[in-house]
Structure 1
């Protein structure tokens, strides 16, 4: 039996995978099981299987992008879900990881690569966020919220879930009239504009993406609030002034562990004595780890999803009190599935913008990320911090009441 067949036999037991090899042979793995996908794939050449054996994530991603791994029944999301649902994070087997020796090498190179100095940080941001505006319009909601939505019901639309996410975050900020807010990693400006529209707060949004900055400034001008909601192209490390509130959504993943303490110290120093910060970030359900090779190479160079222990340790000793922690377990999986469905529906438009390999890369990225939240070890954390213990009410009732009022 070929090595790839042994590999798949050990990893597909529930659900079914039919594999057509490049030499014409066909193998079947697993047993049809309710709730598990049934998928058929074809290897266009022998090298595709060998690449998957060396590094399952990188090998499968590149083979799919290049058209050397073809999904003939189901789609690539079904394939990823079949494999990951047979290897859930809770079981602890980690059968889809690269070999131990390869992981050891990648751990060293990754730690070097995630030292996110200022010039590299801007380049890393541009790699992903300065892609065509048209691409993001094709799969995001109208407000271009490119972060985990908040599903009060899994059946909600993406638009509803993203609106609910903004309300969920705004309620935790406990904004009062006349407050000044700093939005670190403001994206296309949706959160900043929302906070001003709902509370009257003055907001400064900062980003390292030139394309996002153009859109955010245009939106503020069109809304007639450019004097109240400003956007700047600046690294958070260089922001000056003081703010009553800081919000950072989907940016901390790009900071890099070597700079976590710098981040928290800077945020604390930017806040008033009664200041509050809300940090919304992808995180690891377990301990510290390494970003997979495929994601680092093709999607988020320099990116790293922190363990909760890394976040807390970096903040210790700064007298910056953690006042609330919430773990959003499945919400990002639902969000990514919505983005995936929209991406598939926009296939022809995306291929016209770029090409077929890019479309398959984006498809694999969203499918893999969704599976990481639904079967793997990723979650989304929302952490609230305050300069002093008296800055906020002593129960969470204000969050619930505030969120209800914002919806």
Structure 2
């Protein structure tokens, strides 16, 4: 936590209010109100405020100004920042405010514009663990691509997806898809949207009987189950989480499917024989800024000549070394979204041809909204089953609401990109085939094994 000399706090508070008023005085978006612990209020936009945000303590304001989304999120967890109205709507309003402020794109950037802030001599950086400090030094020296970086990625993925299948089963869809769905209409059920998404990915890959498919970061395996059942494809999934692998093995055995899973990194997988099809639904972001180059090298090495792959990733407009600090600290350490331009340029630099791109941003917003709705409806059951405390529950709600707001406002995108390694074999010429009716939507031949049977945690789990 930042340490600010007590005498500087009134100055910081006053300067923040002055800067906010000056930068947002011409705000024309949703009327918004900032409230402070002493009763003072600042209004932006015309008309009665539709949204409001309250700093209940000076510490909450200081943390938000100096630590950006990390400070804001932690203040929300401590209940020192509150929002009136729906949390997603309020956070979307903040994203709109940031956009209307022009060059000021975040609360932390707003703090950097405060007059005399740089002269506050008694501001200390947040504590940094030895492990993170060493990792940062290695990255700065350009040697973050080795086995140590791979182990850090594995620990980060395990921390996120290893929270327990029972936890995810209570707010994801019945197939435990952690990627976005594909909605035919805004009010469509999440289970149906995820079935459409699986069918869409299969069509974009132009699956055929007898092909061999590699799923990098396969999650709980339901895309592979569909590929094997509907198309007769032989599948191998790789994951870094043992709880996911156990689930996949049980399902594949129950359905008698040609689906194999290994707990390993894509860097450990042998390059031969190469694969006719490769899919990665969201795992690219876990590679981080430096190791994303290794990720693309492996895609090129693993994909057969004429083979086709589909890569899917959260994206942003411009790449930088910056990564959201709240997400890094509390949700997925090392998570780093590329840009659309970065995805395409890395593929083309390796001789991979871009066949198709599609932005599923709006579908991602709807998916995150469904996840949060399920999470809130089941929060008592989640707490009872997992043992997660109130702070964890507020943290996860903040994360889901932020995701929905970021996709909804265009702060983040969600790209699907289809690539081929040279001229593609047996790939549709017309794009119409990619969005045909779901003639092969996932249908389960055997009941889905209850996810709770494979919980990684017992009665309690870390928060």
Same fold (TM over 0.5): yes
Contact (CA 8 Å) 1:323, 1:384: kept in 2 or not?
Answer: yes
What per-residue deviation string (whole Å, max 9, x for no partner) do you get for residues 263-287 of structure 1? 2232222223231111111111334
Could you say which residue in structure 2 is the equivalent of 1:183?
215
Shift of residue 98, structure 1, vs aligned partner: 1.9
Equivalent residue, structure 2, for 1:344: 376
2:417 to 372, 379, 383: 383
Contact in 1 for aligned 2:348/2:354 (Cα 8 Å):
no
Q: 1:328 to 1:276 in 2, by over 3 A?
A: same
Correspondence list, 1:190-201, <5 A? 190-201=222-233
Aligned twin of 1:328 = 360
Q: 1:265 to 1:96 in 2, by over 3 A?
A: closer
Per the TM alignment, residue 15 of structure 1 is displaced from its structure 2 partner at its CA by 3.7
CA distance in structure 1 between the partners assigned to 2:72 and 2:137 by the alignment:
20
Aligned to 2:335: 303
Contact 1:260 1:311 in 2 (8 A): no
Alignment of 1:335-374 (within 5 A): 335-352=367-384, 353-374=387-408
Correspondence for 2:139: 112
Count matched residues. 397
Alignment deviations for residues 6-47 of structure 1 (CA, whole Å, 9 cap, x no partner): 455445764444555333x2415235769xx72344434221
CA distance in 2 between counterparts of 1:51 and 1:297 reads 15
Calculate the TM-score normalised by the size of structure 2.
Answer: 0.78
Q: Deviations over 1:292-317 (max 9, x none)?
A: 11111111101100012222332334
CA distance in 1, matches of 2:419, 2:309: 5
Matched, 1:237 2:267: yes
**Aligned CA distance change for structure 1 residues 100 and 48 (closer, same or farther; 3 Å):** closer
Cα 1:110–1:41 change in 2 (3 A) is farther
User: Structure 2 CA distance, aligned partners of 1:346 and 1:135?
Assistant: 10
User: Does 2:188 align with 1:156?
Assistant: yes
Distance verdict in 2 for CA 1:389–1:101, change over 3 Å:
farther
Equivalence for 2:431 = 396
CA distance in structure 1 between the aligned counterparts of 2:53 and 2:374, rounded to whole angstroms: 23
Match of 2:204 among 172, 194, 215: 172
- Could you say if the C-alpha distance between residues 62 and 192 of structure 1 is closer, same or farther in structure 2, counting changes exceeding 3 Å? same
Shift of the 32–217 alpha-carbon distance from structure 1 to 2, 3 Å rule, reads farther
Q: 2:167 maps to what in 1?
A: 135
SS in 1 for 2:98: coil
Correspondence 1:261-276 to 2 at 5 A: 261-276=293-308
Q: CA 1:101–1:313 in structure 2 vs 1: closer, same or farther (change >3 Å)?
A: farther
Closer, same or farther: CA 33–142 of 1 in aligned 2, 3 Å: farther
- Pick closer, same or farther for the CA change 1:7–1:130 going to 2, 3 Å: farther
Structure 1 residues 10-19 or 283-292, which shifts more? 10-19
8 A Cα contact 2:104 2:110, kept in partner: no
What is the CA–CA distance in structure 2 between the aligned matches of 1:390 and 1:14, rounded to whole Å?
A: 47
Q: Secondary structure at the match of 1:155?
A: coil
Change (3 A) 1:33 1:220: farther
Q: Compare 112-121 and 323-332 and name the one that shifted more.
A: 112-121
Are the equivalent residues in 2 in contact too, given 1:15–1:33 (CA < 8 A)?
Answer: no
Match of 2:97 in 1: 86
Task: Name whichever of 11-20 and 299-308 sits farther off.
Answer: 11-20
Tell me the distance in 2 between the aligned counterparts of 1:110 and 1:27: 43
Select which of 57, 75, 80 maps to 1:45: 57
TM-score w.r.t. the length of structure 1 is 0.88
Structure 2 distance, partners of 1:64, 1:101, is 18
Distance 1:4 1:288, change over 3 A: closer
Residue segments in structure 1 that go unaligned for 5+ positions in a row: none
Instruction: Please give the alpha-carbon distance, in whole angstroms, between the structure 2 residues aligned to 1:177 and 1:33.
Output: 61
1:62 aligns with 2:62: no
SS of structure 2 residue aligned to 1:254: helix
Instruction: Verify the 8 A CA contact 2:315 2:338 in the aligned structure 1.
Output: yes
Report the equivalent of 1:96.
Answer: 106
Q: What are the superposed Cα offsets for residues 303-350 of structure 1, whole Å, 9 maximum, x if unpaired? A: 100012222332334222222222223111111111111111122223
Partner residue in 1 for 2:37:
22
Determine the C-alpha separation between the residues in 1 that align with 2:105 and 2:350.
39
